[in-house]
Amino acid sequence: MLANISNFEFLKMLFPILGFGTLCGGIIGFERGRRGSAAGMKTQVFICVGSAMFTFCSILLCNERGNGDAGRMIAQIVSGVGFLGAGTIMARDRIIGLTTAAIIWVMAALGVMCGMGYGPAALVITVGMVGAIELMSQIEKRFVQTHTHERRENPQLHLAPRNDATDFDRRKSG
């Protein structure tokens, strides 16, 4: 425990941060879940709240100890969340999930804002993001030809039909 702060004071400072992080993550997560994204409400809340807690604790530690660099923690959050985003893109046999990866990245930034004490600003940005996602989706439906994600066979992996009787005869004679 840090010398100058009690558990009660810590929780008193942390609860608004967690509240704003949960609200921001929940709003975006609800929108993503409604669209069938793999990273829905729970994922977005955890990303936002986790980023907020790491940021808050880093700032608190720097303030209490008088040394350190809270910016290093934020840089590590960006790297870690980038890894999560890459996993959402590469987890399949085709490149999809770029929007989800970008939203995961932005959720971490909103969490950092909450952790720094700018929860109301993060909430305003969150509402703006939901509006932007909806507006861009409508524009894409109307003006942009969407890509179809049909599974295409890889010609290198395509094997000739197998004749079990012939294969059996070859193994037996060879």
Note whether residue 1 is domain-resident: no
Task: Determine the angle formed by the axes of helices 98-115 and 41-65, rounding to 10 degrees.
Answer: 40
74-109 pLDDT, tens digit each: 999 998 998 888 887 775 567 778 888 899 999 999
Is residue 150 assigned to a domain?
no
- Within-domain flag for 25: yes
The reply to whether 51 falls in a domain is yes
pLDDT over 90 at 26, yes or no = yes
Range of the domain at 20: 7-143
In a domain, 149, yes or no: no
The answer to whether the CB of 47 falls within 8 A of the CB of 81 is yes
Residue 117 inside a domain? The answer is yes
Which structure tokens are listed for 17? 């941060």
Highest mean predicted confidence (pLDDT) among 13-17, 83-87, 159-163: 13-17
Q: Tens digit of pLDDT for each residue in 104-131?
A: 999 999 999 999 999 999 999 999 999 9
Q: Is residue 112 part of a domain?
A: yes
Residue 168 has pLDDT above 60, yes or no: no
Tally of domains within the chain? 1
Considering only residues 161 and 26, tell me which one the structure prediction assigns the higher pLDDT: 26
What residue type is assigned to position 171 of the chain?
R
